[in-house]
């Protein structure tokens, strides 16, 4: 029996090594990829900025300190001035501070939506892929129903469900839409794993199913999931803006979020385009950063590209 145990351990070690060497070789290629480095730099700056923004922001983003310069009748807002390099917004709040603090909420929306979607997808996908049988059928029918509506349309419908929209309802609407995507991805990859030689070998040696799932199948399925997560970080930020644009976003704008800032100024796009352009350009750059990282990650993890 001891022999059996050591063999199992060997196989586990082997499976882990496979994972490690794959990650190691992918990392080696990523480090040399200029595209990945550009993406990583953008995201690095974005994360640092959003963490430090409460201290970096010169003013309280919720304080209508320049309200006297807002003339509704003539559609005038505070212009750039000493102490307020970007001027004020429609409510006379310091625009630069709002942009800075907005980065933090944007990061929260992106990461929150991705984490919830990922967790839901991991649970459903692992259940379906690891157990199979009727569990698989039920989960996949459910996924089919969710995928029968285009993702963004589904997110709109979910967001419209909440009596009092908030940051949380926005995050939830965006994340639920991602669950079927993650679930399918994981299930497909797990099914492929189930038929693979190293899982067969472990099964033949009598390794417990739970152990096979968590030590062999799941780690080897993670590559595509990580790639997808990176891409979802990008789409979540863009979708949050679309929700705000349709009036389904967080109505409380004391603590701003870029998507919300962009969606909320639709009535003045033509007269004060900079109020839309700043958040829009920031969203585009950050989304591009995540996409660049995700796409290069996908290429690096693709065994076809390995030499």
Partner 1 sequence: MLRYTIRRLIQLVGVVLVLSLLLFAWLRALPGGPVSALLGERATPESRAALTKQLGLDQPIIVQYFKFLGRAASGDFGVSNGVQPGDSAMEIFLQRFPATIELSFSALLIAIALGIPLGYLAAKRRGSWFDNMSVIGSLIGVAIPVFFLAYVLKDNFSHLLGLPSIGRQNGDIGATRVTGFFVLDGLLTREFDASWDALKHLILPAMALATIPFAVIFRITRAAVLEVLDEDFVRTAESKGLTAPVIRRRHVLRNAMLPVVTTIGLQTGALLSGAVLTEKVFAFPGVGEALALGFERRDYPVLLLLLIMAAIVYVLVNLLVDLSYALIDPRIRTR
Residue 207's closest CA among 71, 9, 2, 59?
Answer: 9
CB of 144 to partner 1, least distance (A): 6
Hey, which residues does 71 pair with through a beta bridge? 76
Distance CA 290, CA 113 (A): 14
* Interaction of residue 67 with partner 1, rule CB under 8 A: no
DSSP state letter for 294: H
Q: Which residue has the tokens 């796009």?
A: 269
What is each CA distance from 17 to 14, 25, 82, 275, 303, in whole angstroms? Answer: 5, 12, 59, 51, 16
* Interaction of residue 30 with partner 1, rule CB under 8 A: no
Pick from 28, 284, 305, 306 the residue near partner 1 by CB under 8 A.
Answer: 284
CB of 71 to partner 1, least distance (A): 22
Pick from 140, 181, 199, 241 the residue near partner 1 by CB under 8 A.
Answer: 241
Site string for partner 1, 7-26 (x = CB under 8 A): --------------------
| Window contacting partner 1 (CB under 8 A); options: 57-65, 91-99, 187-195, 280-288 | 280-288
* Interaction of residue 238 with partner 1, rule CB under 8 A: yes
CB of 235 to partner 1, least distance (A): 8
* Interaction of residue 204 with partner 1, rule CB under 8 A: no
3-state helix, strand, coil in the chain (%, to 5): 75, 0, 20
Subset of 82-141 contacting partner 1 (CB under 8 A): 141
List of residues contacting partner 1 (CB under 8 A) = 141, 144-145, 148-153, 156-158, 160-164, 234, 238, 241-242, 245-248, 259, 262-263, 266, 269-270, 273, 276, 280, 283-285, 287-288, 291-292, 295
């Amino acid at each position: 029996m001891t022999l059996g145990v050591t063999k199992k351990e060997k196989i586990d070690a082997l499976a882990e090594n496979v994972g490690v060497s794959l990650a190691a070789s992918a990392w080696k290629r990523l480090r040399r990829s200029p595209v990945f480095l550009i993406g990583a730099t953008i995201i690095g700056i974005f994360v640092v900025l959003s963490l430090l923004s409460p201290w970096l922001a010169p003013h309280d983003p919720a304080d209508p300190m320049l309200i006297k310069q807002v003339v509704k009748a003539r559609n005038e807002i505070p212009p750039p001035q000493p102490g307020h390099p970007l001027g004020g917004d429609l409510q006379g709040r310091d625009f630069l501070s709002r942009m800075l603090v907005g980065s933090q909420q944007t990061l929260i929306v992106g990461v929150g939506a991705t984490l919830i979607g990922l967790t839901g997808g991991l649970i459903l996908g692992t259940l379906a892929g690891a157990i199979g049988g009727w569990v698989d059928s039920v989960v996949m029918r459910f996924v089919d129903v969710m995928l029968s509506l285009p993702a963004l349309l589904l997110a709109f419908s979910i967001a419209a469900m909440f009596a009092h929209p908030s940051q949380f309802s926005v995050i939830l609407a965006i994340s639920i839409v991602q669950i079927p995507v993650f679930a399918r991805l994981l299930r497909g990859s797990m099914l492929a794993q189930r038929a693979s030689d190293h899982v067969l070998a472990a099964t033949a040696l009598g390794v417990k199913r739970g152990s096979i799932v968590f030590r062999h199948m799941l780690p080897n399925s993670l590559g595509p999931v990580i790639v997808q997560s990176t891409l979802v970080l990008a789409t979540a930020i863009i979708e949050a803006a679309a929700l705000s644009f349709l009036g389904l976003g967080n109505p409380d704008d004391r603590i701003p979020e870029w998507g919300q800032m962009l969606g909320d100024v639709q009535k003045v796009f033509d007269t004060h385009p900079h109020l839309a352009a700043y958040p829009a350009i920031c969203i585009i750059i950050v989304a591009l950063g995540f996409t660049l990282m995700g796409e290069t990650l996908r290429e690096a993890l693709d065994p076809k590209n390995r030499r």
